[in-house]
Amino acid sequence: MSQKKKSNTNTEDIDKFARELQEQLMEQIRKKYSDVVIDHWQNPRNFEKIDNPDGYASAKGSCGDTMEMFLKMSNGKISECGFQTDGCGTTIACGSIATELALKKSFIQALATVSADEILKKLGGLPESDIHCAELAAEALRRALADHLYQKRAPWKKQYRQT
């Protein structure tokens, strides 16, 4: 057998193994997480840094994951809401849902609506070991809303904030 043919066979074997392994992993993930969690993990909404935000916060979860939340306000409502995280898939899904819940809401509506319980409900629940991810996303959003209030009272400080 030629060297080139051997190389192609090895590559095909490796590709087949990788596909099978990925399928097995996804099968295990589907047993543990809802389709909504998987969708928001693989296709996060609003996973972005927003330049010059009206509200910004960074929060660290009990597991060590960090989440940043960015808000832009327009006419009293959240017109843009983005997040970034160095966390796991569940943290990404929770941040994604939190931003969707907050968008187009007033300050008060967002404060009342976005909670760990509401995030969990929208995701179809999470295993007990991952509930802290929803708490992290809700806390990051609350802190960004608090920062918005602070910036509103002292708008000149916004120029000196680093995000």
Question: Are residues 84 and 68 in contact, defined by beta-carbon separation less than 8 angstroms?
Answer: yes
As a CATH number, domain 41-160 is 3.90.1010.10
Q: Tell me the two tokens of residue 39.
A: 């969708």
Which among 42, 112, 98 has a CA at the least distance from the CA of 70?
98
pTM, two decimal places:
0.83
d(CA 69, CA 59): 9
pLDDT, residue 20, reads 86
pLDDT, residue 30, reads 87
pLDDT, residue 152, reads 80
Question: Are residues 49 and 163 in contact, defined by beta-carbon separation less than 8 angstroms?
Answer: yes
Q: Where are the beta strands (DSSP E) in the chain?
A: 55-60, 66-74, 77-85
Mean pLDDT per 10-residue interval, the chain, length 163 residues:
58 87 86 94 97 95 95 96 96 98 96 96 96 97 95 68 62
